[in-house]
Structure 1
Amino acid sequence: MSRAQCPRCLRPQTHCLCELIPQLHSRTRVLLLQHPSEVNHALNTARLAALGLSNAELRVGEVFEDLQSMLSPPEYQACLLFPGEGAQLLQPGIGEEQPLLLVVPDGTWRKARKLLHLNPLLAQLPRVTLPEGAQSRYRLRKAPGPGALSTVEAIVQALDILEAPASFAPLLRPFEALIGGQIEAMGAETYQRNHGDKSQ
């Protein structure tokens, strides 16, 4: 028998995160495009971000038929948060004249690239990227390289830059609880063996 699930955060009722999810407003609009393989992942951080931001939308799929209208809400200029050639480093002041629609693909790097490939309109958007050297708190997934962040961490960092001095750190509270719960469930020994610091 499957465990009862919270319909909002999709976590088991016993580990519901809704109490920790803030309700934050941002001038920047966030559009999360989630690869279907992420939906039932225990660490679905895109959903946490979408629930915690009043100006955010989460869409799930591989090919988005109505992408044109999704990318052109009035008053916003769309850009893709994804590294790549010609990507502009995010800094305060960007989006000051016209607020940004920050489009964030959610999935492994391979799946995110696939979303770009299947939706050519995405690949045509101007790209923005985060400053290097960010430390992820995501202690459970093998990062593809230094500075690789989970989706919610990348969004928090992007909004902190774009909307300084406002802080979007409260979005990380449910994320921290999620990670803590997973580590607790697997036990300290297993966590150390699989995810601990190998340099010690």
Structure 2
Amino acid sequence: MARPQCPRCLRPTTYCLCGLIPSLDSRTRVLLLQHPSEVNHALNTARLAALGLVNAQLVVGEVFEDLPDLLNPPGYQARLLFPGESAQPLRAYTACDAPLLLVVPDGTWRKARKLLHLNPLLAALPRVALAEGAVSRYRLRKAPGPGALSTVEAIVQALQVLETPSSFEPLLRPFEALIEGQIAAMGEAVFMKNHLGG
């Protein structure tokens, strides 16, 4: 029998994270395009980001029929947060800059690339990238390399750059609690053996 689930954060009700999820406003609009395989993932950080940001939207799918509308909210310039040769480093807004619609594909690197392949309009967007060398707090997963962040971490880092000196660190509180809960559930010994090479 399935455990009762919080309808908002989708966690088991005994581990509900809603009390830790902030309600942060941002000049930047965040559009999260989530691969369907991520929806029921225990560490669904895109959902946490969408719940914690007032100006965010989470859309699940592989092919997004309404992508032209999603990518063109009035007054915003769409940019794809995804590495690539043409990706420009993010920089802080100046007074005359139009706010960005930051489009964030959510899934494994392979699934995220598939979303771009299946949605040519998405792949054609100008790209922006985070500074290199960021270290993930995602202690439950071996990152494929430096700078490989979870979705919520990437969004926080992007917003911290764009909207400095505003802080978006509160978005990471439910993420940290999620990690701690997973470690507690598996037990310290298992965590040390599997994730710290102990």
> What is the TM-score when the length of structure 2 is the normalising length?
0.98
1:1-200 equivalent positions in 2, closer than 5 A: 1-93=1-93, 96-196=96-196, 198=197
How many angstroms apart in 2 are the aligned matches of 1:34 and 1:94? Answer: 30
Residues 139-184 of structure 1: per-residue CA shift (max 9 Å, x gap) = 1122111110000000000000000000000000000000000000
Contact 1:95–1:162 at 8 Å: present in 2 too? no
Ranges of 4+ aligned residues in structure 1 off by more than 3 Å: none
How many angstroms apart in 1 are the aligned matches of 2:193 and 2:15? Answer: 25
Q: CA RMSD in A?
A: 1.1
Offset, 1:96: 4.8
State the one-letter code of the partner of 1:19.
G
State the one-letter code of the partner of 2:105.
P
Residues 65-113 of structure 1: per-residue CA shift (max 9 Å, x gap) = 0000100000000000000021000111369520000000000000000
Residues 11-37 of structure 1: per-residue CA shift (max 9 Å, x gap) = 000000000000000000000000000
How many angstroms apart in 2 are the aligned matches of 1:94 and 1:194? Answer: 45
State the one-letter code of the partner of 1:139.
R
How many angstroms apart in 2 are the aligned matches of 1:95 and 1:107? Answer: 34
How many angstroms apart in 1 are the aligned matches of 2:51 and 2:93? Answer: 26
| Seq. identity, % | 77
How many angstroms apart in 1 are the aligned matches of 2:156 and 2:56? Answer: 12
Contact 1:136–1:147 at 8 Å: present in 2 too? yes
* The 10-residue stretch of structure 1 (110-119 or 134-143) with the greater mean CA deviation from structure 2: 134-143
Which structure 1 segments of 5+ residues have no match?
Answer: none
**CA distance 1:95–1:28, shift in 2 (3 Å):** farther
**CA distance 1:44–1:60, shift in 2 (3 Å):** same
State the number of aligned residues: 198
How many angstroms apart in 1 are the aligned matches of 2:93 and 2:65? Answer: 32
**CA distance 1:101–1:84, shift in 2 (3 Å):** same
**CA distance 1:95–1:79, shift in 2 (3 Å):** farther
Contact 1:9–1:48 at 8 Å: present in 2 too? yes
Offset, 1:186: 0.3
> What is the TM-score when the length of structure 1 is the normalising length?
0.97
State the one-letter code of the partner of 2:46.
A
Secondary structure of the residue that 1:27 maps to in structure 2? coil
Secondary structure of the residue that 1:68 maps to in structure 2? helix
